[in-house]
Every structure is written in C-alpha cells, then in structure tokens.
Structure 1
Amino acid sequence: MVTKNHYTIGEAAEYLGKNPETLRRWDQDGKLVALREPSSNYRVYSKEQLESFSPFESKEQLVSNYVEPNNDYQVLELFAGAGGFAIGMEKAGLKCMALNEVDKWACQTLRKNRPNWNVLEGDIRDFSFKKYRGQVDLVTGGFPCQAFSYIGKKLGFKDARGTLFYEFARAIKEVMPPICLGENVKGLKNHDGGKTLAGMVSILDEIGYDVVEPQVLKAINYNVPQKRERLILVGIRKDVSAIYEYPSPNDKIFNLEDALKKGDLFDSDVPISKGSSYPESKKKFLDLVPPKGYWRDLPLEMQKEYMQKSFYLGGGRTGMARRIGWDEPCLTLTCSPAQKQTERCHPDETRPFTTREYARIQTFPDDWEFAGSISQIYKQIGNAVPINLGKEIGYSVVRFLNEYNSK
C-alpha cells in the first residue's frame, strides 16, 4: 500500500477479486477511475472508492458474438502462416477456399492438419487470383507492414508496387469480394505519423472499397490469455449497403493458468512437449526473479550485470528477465522465446514456455500439429493470430455477410 488509505492497482484488484487488467480497462472506460499518487504518479485507489464501488459494475460480462452462417461463405486467405486466423474463421463457420503462404514449414503445417485445404505455396507475386472472382465472400490476410515511397499528396495503387500490401490489394481487386479484412501489428496505426495506414486506406478506396474506421483489438478481450494487440483493417465494396461492426469485447480476462491447466478454456492440462532452454549464464539471474517480476526484482549489482549499458538508460524495459505469473495473461509471445529483450519465463520453472504451452497461449487446439524444427515451430506460433480472436472476428464477418445476402 502506498499510504494507509490507498491501494496499488494490484492490491485493489485483489481487494475486488478482479484481474489488474480489468481495473485498467475500467479506468479507461471511466467506471472506476484511479487516482495518481503525487510522488510517483502511480495509479492508486482510495479505500472509500473500493468500499463504495457497486458490485453490479464490477461484474464480469460474458459477451457472445456467435452467429450462424446463412450460407456457405468462402474465404481466400493470404499470408496464412500456420493457420491461426484460418482456424478461427473455420470455427466461426466460414469455409476456406484457398490459402497462400510462402514459408514452406507453415505450408507443411497447413497440409498436415487440413489435407482438404487448397494451400498455394509460394510468393504471392507469382499467383493470379482472378479465377476466384465471384466465388469468394472474404479476402483476408496478415500482410507484412512495409513503408511506402510517397509520390505526390496521395499514395495510389501503382505507387505501392513492390510492397506486399500492393499484392494484398491486387488480390482483392482481382477477386472483388463484398468484404476484405487485413490485420497487422498495432504500431501500423501510427507508423510514419499515420501516413502508411492512410496510404493503405487510399489504395482500398481507389480499387472500390470503403474502409471502416480501423481498430486495434486486444486479444485479452476475446478469450485469449495473452496481451496481444492487432490492428484490423476492414474494407466494404462500395456497392454493398450492409454494415460491418467489430466483435463485442468480453469483460472476463483469462490468465496463464486458464491457458495451461484444465478449466474454462481447455478441458485438460497442457500436453508435455519440447522447448528451448536458457543458458546457465541467464538462468542464474532468472532463478531469482519471482512470478510477475522482471530485472528490477534482482539485487542491484545483478541488475547492473544483467542489463549492462541498458541499466543506465530510461524506460522500464519490463519484458527483460520477465517471469509470467499464473494469475495474469501472458505478455505477447514472440518468435523466439529466449531473446533477452522479450523473455517469457515459466512461473514455477526457470525455462521458456514449451512449444505446446506457446500454442495454448495462442489458443491453438492441442491436436494442431506443427511441422519443422523447434525454432521453426516457435516462429510459426509466435507469428500467428490467436485462434479465439480470429473466431470472434469471424463471427462479425458472418453477421455482415448474412445481412448482405438477405438484401
């Protein structure tokens, strides 16, 4: 506690029986606004705030975005990776007509698990998608973010040649589905002062699509036990009058225990699997870090030894020497679980998460097998869209397509 009558966000969450992430969201939504401790500017809550807070307001709401498809809706997915988004779409009732992916190991993963899927392996530049015109209801893909070279005041379709977003837009133009959907890292929203995203919007406008206001969706609000955020870019063909609405978020936040142990998310404990390990030189530091702790929880001299020159720089760098707690969502998974900048240490054991634990945190089903070496598997999982997030987005697309087809 900061003072006799004030609680930190962790203490307040424990007092109310909630997750700290829930209190942060309530703060943003104005439901339970934190005070600022004068000397540190940390969020704190008064005892009076917590005692008078309405139990009705603190009740977690489970929101269902489920909707039944009225038709066999077909999807063309680009930059499909290991199938995270495709599985989510499938769970939402959408049919996969074809998937394009350049990584050979990801393609093997797709074929291993769904032999009936039409996997188009290779560089997207080498494929024409014109044969899918009139057959596909949705073109989607997690296109890599690349900067554009600006010519004039408005970036045009031709100006974007050489970028993978151009190829994404080209495929949409060749197919002309009623709706298209791209996803990317949240940083795209402000990349180059927002010019990159504005250029993408102008390109979609040029090829015949009105863009819904882009939103950053937090995976923790869509039944994913991970603090992952993705920017969603939705385009509606200009002759279509149906309205697209983003999926509604849930108040309930799942944590690491929900991911790795039997419970509401999975009906069994996580299967045993292989994984990376830390070298002894790193392990001696992480052994001393408590659950939910990081490098600042080390003795001062060990902080300096571990961080080296970074110790004297500004910023928290809270991902370094980070051990995840059972009662919190995992930090965003990366493609390599043992990197110094982004450690994701197991709560009880001093090791990175195994490949199957990685997959659980991304809400992959346990029967989804991955091809390739351990490092290739981590890369595939780390790059994926969480399945449960993809499923909730899928429901929003189904709702849109149902409205479109009813007119």
Structure 2
Amino acid sequence: MDVCAGAGGLALGLEQAGFDPVLLLDRKPVACETLRLNRPAWKVLEMDLLEFVPDEHPETYDVDLLSAGLPRVKSSATVARAETEEELRLLEAAVLLTHSVQPRALLIENVPGLVDAPEFETVREFIRKELEHLGYRFRWFVLNAADFGVPQDRKQGVLVALKKQYFDSFRQPVPTVTEHVPVGRALGHSMAARGWPHADAWAARALSVAPTLVGGSDNRGGADLGPTGTKKAWARMGVNGGALADDVPGPDFDGASGLIKITDSQAALLQAFPTDWRFTGRKTARYRQIGHASPPPVGKALGMAIADALRA
C-alpha cells in the first residue's frame, strides 16, 4: 500500500522490486490521473491521507509493505507555521496508519534532516514510541539517489521499520553504481533529438550530476529548477534554471553562446523515470509531479532490501 503516492516514483520502484500495490492514495487529482494512465490495473484512491479510514478498504488488511513518499517537512524557522504543521500531520498520519494496517514493513521517504536534525527530535521521538509500541524495530538513514544511477544529487532521508522477527535480516541498500551519471550523458540524446548541432558540445560541458530537482509549492509561481544557488549550478552546465522549455532545441537554435532550457520530459529523465512513463496535466503541473517524486531506482533498491528481509 502506497500513500501520498504522487506521480508514482516510489510505487514504480517498488513494483520493479517485486511488490504489487493493492492500493495507492493521493489527494491531488492530477497525480491520480498520472497513476491511472500508466497503470490502469492499480487501484488508485483520490483522498487526503488525513481522511482515510482503513476499515473501509479491506484490501489493506494484510499487506507486506506500507510505503509513503510524503510531502517534504521543513524547519519551522524557515517556512510558514501552518504549512509546516500540515506536512508534519501527514508524517504522523502515515505512522499512525500502521496501527490499523499492521504491515510487515513500513517505508517512509522524506528530507535528510528528518534522520538526525535537532529540530525534528520531537517528531522522531513520537515515531519511536509508536513503532516500538506496535512491535516494530526501525532504522533511519540517508541515501543519495546519485549512488543508484540517478543523474541527480538528491539526498533522501529514509525510515525503514519491520516487525521484530524480520528486522535483523534487513540490510541498508548499497550503491548500485561506481560512477555517477552526469547530466550531459543523461540528456545528450534527447538534446540532439530535433537536430540541434550543438548538442554534443553542450553534453561535454554538463559533466556533473544535476542539483536536486524541486517541485515547488502548488500555491506559488510557475515551474523552475530551484532557488538561486541551484540556478547558478545549472548555469555552469549551460542550463537556464529559471523556466522550462516546451521542446528541445531544433536545428536553428543557436545556444552556443547562451543557456538552454530543459523540458519537463528531460526533468523526468533526471529523476530516472522510464521514458514511457507519462505525466498528466499542463507543463507546470507535470513538472511539479516530477520534482516532488521519489526516483524509481531508489525505491527499487529499498524495495529489494525490504523484500530480502521479509523472505529471510
């Protein structure tokens, strides 16, 4: 069962690891449309996690894994208090859902700071008490998506909890690549797709992984690739991080002396979505789904580690 499923990045990775979702839940219509478009057989429920009643959905009675790629919690010192409290309520709701669902394993993915930052100590203590009361043992750790073949520096805070009889068999995923994939290699083919003559030269310049993609808030602004510091990192790779393009450069696009924009489809490649995974909605809505997603290769690595523990 996957809650706050978004565009399906975590669920797709878990599917690749052998998990079969019985229910996916998200409150955003456009995300649910994306899930249904790509996996018509999945049962997708458009509902706020805070309003979900497990007893009304018998398919949740016996699941191996409850997963949650939750909206990113933020320090109360940096954002509006109401927004912070909403994200924390969703985190707590995902943990409390284990009371009803009683999964053999729980997977929560969020910001790295949730693992050890002092401002989240109260939240971690709440989670500890709830999980220990229910008979789970758990581990916090941080993974970088770049270590799993994702062409992006994307650190993720992870909580894995398992029923006590499975926990000693759990091993934290180890990197699957020895060399990070640079942006130029990830996007070079797509940049050349419409005959742009400078695609190879651009790719040779984009030699590092991408900065962390951020989807931004649904309440503010359009689609861009992140804050000022992130835009500067993109500029060093020849990319204008202030907006998205409608299409990749064509044969008449100069670009040799300026910055190019990437498309939302290319952003999906930077999240390591397969090329046949489609996103619904307008451009900004598509990009926000992509930027908020958990990269599928990380979900696959976590899923395989959890599956191995449950089989042991």
Q: Fold-level match, TM-score > 0.5?
A: yes
Q: Give distance in 2, aligned partners of 1:329 and 1:126.
A: 39
Match of 1:192 in 2: 119
Greater CA drift, 253-262 or 110-119: 253-262
1:252 paired residue number: 179
1:377 to 267, 286, 298: 286
User: Matched residues in 1 for 2:64 and 2:192: separation?
Assistant: 37
2:96–2:130 contact (8 Å) kept in structure 1: no
Q: Supply the distance in 2 between the matched residues of 1:201 and 1:242 (Cα, whole angstroms).
A: 17
Residues 344-359 of structure 1 correspond to what in structure 2 (within 5 A)? 344-345=234-235, 347=238, 349=255, 350-359=259-268
Residue of structure 2 in register with 1:85 after alignment: 10
User: Which residue of structure 1 aligns with residue 206 of structure 2?
Assistant: 326
Per the TM alignment, residue 143 of structure 1 is displaced from its structure 2 partner at its CA by 2.4
Q: 1:34: which partner in 2?
A: none
Q: Following the alignment from structure 1 to structure 2, what is the Cα–Cα distance between the partners of residues 164 and 118?
A: 21
Q: Does 1:235 align with 2:161?
A: yes
Q: Are positions 1:126 and 2:51 aligned together?
A: yes
Residues 260, 360 of structure 1: 8 Å contact kept: yes
User: Residue 93 of structure 1: CA displacement?
Assistant: 1.6
Name the residue aligned to 1:41.
none
After superposition, the Cα gap between the structure-2 partners of 1:145 and 1:380, relative to the gap in structure 1 and judged at 3 Å, is closer
Q: How far is the alpha carbon of 1:139 from its aligned partner?
A: 0.3
> What's the CA shift for 1:204?
1.9
In the superposition, relative to structure 1, how do residues 193 and 121 fare at CA in structure 2: closer, same or farther (>3 Å)? closer
Partner of 2:92: 166
Pair 270,182 (structure 1): closer, same or farther in 2 beyond 3 Å: farther
What is the percentage of aligned positions where both structures have the same residue?
30
TM-score by length of 1: 0.59
Gap regions ≥5 residues in structure 2: 77-85, 195-201, 216-222, 240-254
Q: Which has the higher contact order (CA 8 A, sep 6+)?
A: 2
Q: What is the aligned-residue RMSD (CA, Å)?
A: 2.9
Residue in structure 1 matched with residue 224 of structure 2 by the alignment = 337
Number of paired residues?
264
Which amino acid in structure 1 is aligned with residue 143 of structure 2? L
Rg larger in structure:
1
- Which AA in structure 2 matches 1:129? P
TM-score (ref. length: structure 2): 0.76
Pick the aligned partner of 2:130 from 172, 182, 203. Answer: 203
Structure 2 CA distance for partners of 1:402 and 1:239, relative to 1, 3 Å:
closer
| Amino acid corresponding to residue 214 of structure 2 in structure 1 | T
Spell out the pairing of 1:132-171 with structure 2 (5 A cutoff). 132-146=59-73, 163-171=89-97
Query: Aligned equivalents of 1:270 and 1:135: distance in 2?
Result: 46
Distance, in Å, in 1 between the alignment partners of 2:188 and 2:75 is: 45
SS in 2 for 1:353: coil
- 2:309 maps to a residue whose letter is F
Q: Secondary structure at the match of 1:88?
A: helix
Checking the alignment, whether the CA contact within 8 Å between 1:89 and 1:394 is kept in structure 2 is yes
Q: Are residue 107 (structure 1) and residue 32 (structure 2) matched?
A: yes
